[in-house]
Amino acid sequence: MQKSIPSKPARRLPTLFAGLFFAFAACGQSYSVLDLGTPSGYTNGVGNNSVAHAINNSGSVAGEWGQNSSSERAFLYAGNTNMDLGMLAGASFEAGYSVNASNMVAGEAESFVGGFYAYSYSNGSLADLTPRISGVTIPYSLAHAVNNGGVFVGESYVSSSAIHAVIFTGSQHVTDLGVLTGGNYSAAYGINNSNVIVGESTVGSGGTLAFVYSNGVMTSLGTLPGGNYSAAFAINDAGQIAGEASSSSGQTHAVLFENGVMTDLGTLGGTNSSAAAINQSGMIVGYAATAAGDSHAFLYNGSAMLDLNSLISRAECTNLTSASGINDFGQIAATGYTTNGEERAFLLTPVLQLASPAMQEGLNFQVTVRGVPGQKFILQGSTNLAYPSSWTPIETNTLVTGSTNWMDTDVSPPPYRFYRAQVAP
């Protein structure tokens, strides 16, 4: 979203700027909210719910939706259209868990008899990724994530008695990533574009610990002091990892793993929280309990956990219960409730605001850019709004706090200068 502020070095400027200031100050929300609804072509009288699981840099969202009371199906929202992905033969339930830059989707389908099948979706087609293992009569295989290189990871039977974290290698074959020392189960939940994988594995002590897998080696990430559980759900290309871990109190909190250090991100006043996704700037989203015991979606901006419900208008959504994906533009895939009480997938887009325009001494012009801490923006200028191509980049910066001031020291003829701020990757 963009807004423009004109500067005009003339005596009438203070009055003009004051009017603009109040117009921008009245807009207090930090994110616009879009209800993604459900795929068209289906009756929504019974099944009109949807849940978001992931988002890519194009704003495409993958998730699941309810066609009726006995079926859940996968969807992909892309290009302003919510599309049903179809269903694997014999399946009664399907979900899309991850989407990459090419709109490839990773997910799982469940059959009527309780079998679980990992699948990939690409260019309108579903493909069953589930390996056929001797001695396994009811398959169990889930695809949790796909990176931009098209590498799918998840968990699957690797023998008749073991379910491990795997890379799906096509033609219903997998690469077994193994387990941590003494463990018998593992699952891969995230993969970055360097093929570094994260997940969880049981260990010999009986606990379950988060792991990172790189160059053929699975390494434990530990847990919080006194805890015996952790899981890693997402990793960015800088190697920052988002997940959850338990403490000696038994509570499970959202955590950030970085450079060998685990940081407890806290909660929103309640007992538990979990981090689901992280973008390349290190911004994290997930869900956290409030003091009242409710589940709210959160954004961690590098210094604090923020309740996303306090950063949106309630006109479209009365409560965001969880956030499951964040892209490099700061867009967030979240799930919450409409004003009619329907559970829906929502797309949140950061709103940049230009505020507090004022002429300074020497005819310098100052404007404040407001947004979300950690949000990258491009400030552009123009002398003639009649020609959109006349917008010229002036500055690219990142908001360290919720706002920053910028000074234009070259306000010269022609008498008008217009400014706008756009979200940058």
CB atoms within 10 A of CB 305: 21
Farthest-apart Cα atoms in the chain, separation: 85
Instruction: Please give the structure tokens belonging to residue 18.
Output: 């004051």
What's the CA gap between 37 and 77, in Å, rounded? Answer: 9
What's the CA gap between 242 and 113, in Å, rounded? Answer: 34
- The rounded mean pLDDT for the chain is 87
**Three-state DSSP state, 17:** helix
**In this predicted structure, what is the pLDDT of residue 42?**
57
What's the CA gap between 118 and 126, in Å, rounded? Answer: 10
Asked whether 299 and 285 are in contact (CB, 8 A), the reply is yes
Asked whether 296 and 307 are in contact (CB, 8 A), the reply is yes
- In the predicted structure, residue 279 carries a pLDDT above the cut 90: yes
| Residue 301 backbone class (left: φ over 0; alpha: ψ -120 to 50; beta: rest) | alpha
- In the predicted structure, residue 400 carries a pLDDT above the cut 50: yes
**In this predicted structure, what is the pLDDT of residue 401?**
75
What's the CA gap between 83 and 124, in Å, rounded? Answer: 10
Banded model confidence at residue 76, pLDDT cuts 50, 70, 90: very high
**In this predicted structure, what is the pLDDT of residue 353?**
82
Among residues of the chain, what percentage have pLDDT more than 70? 87
Q: Smallest Cα–Cα separation from 51: which of 247, 334, 383?
A: 334
The residue whose two tokens read 């096509």 is 170
Instruction: Please give the structure tokens belonging to residue 8.
Output: 């005009």
Average pLDDT over residues 247-266: 96
Asked whether 147 and 189 are in contact (CB, 8 A), the reply is no
The residue whose two tokens read 């859940």 is 72
Average pLDDT over residues 289-298: 97
Structure-model confidence comparison of residues 128 and 386, the more confident one: 128
**In this predicted structure, what is the pLDDT of residue 11?**
28
Q: What are the backbone dihedrals phi and psi of residue 394, each rounded to the nearest 5 degrees, phi first?
A: -105, -40
Rg value, the chain, Cα:
24
Average pLDDT over residues 259-268: 96
**In this predicted structure, what is the pLDDT of residue 214?**
98
The residue whose two tokens read 């300074």 is 360
332 strand-pairing partners:
326, 348
Please state, in angstroms and as integers, the Cα–Cα distance from residue 268 to each residue in 134, 226, 239, 273, following that order: 47, 22, 26, 8
CB atoms within 10 A of CB 259: 6
Structure-model confidence comparison of residues 240 and 22, the more confident one: 240
Asked whether 122 and 74 are in contact (CB, 8 A), the reply is no
Average pLDDT over residues 363-383: 81
**In this predicted structure, what is the pLDDT of residue 258?**
97
Q: What are the backbone dihedrals phi and psi of residue 328, each rounded to the nearest 5 degrees, phi first?
A: -75, -10
- In the predicted structure, residue 15 carries a pLDDT above the cut 70: no
Average pLDDT over residues 296-302: 95
pLDDT 10s digits, 25-71 = 333 347 999 999 999 755 444 458 999 999 999 999 999 998 665 67
**In this predicted structure, what is the pLDDT of residue 143?**
98
**In this predicted structure, what is the pLDDT of residue 170?**
84
Please state, in angstroms and as integers, the Cα–Cα distance from residue 57 to each residue in 52, 277, 311, 425, following that order: 15, 13, 21, 8
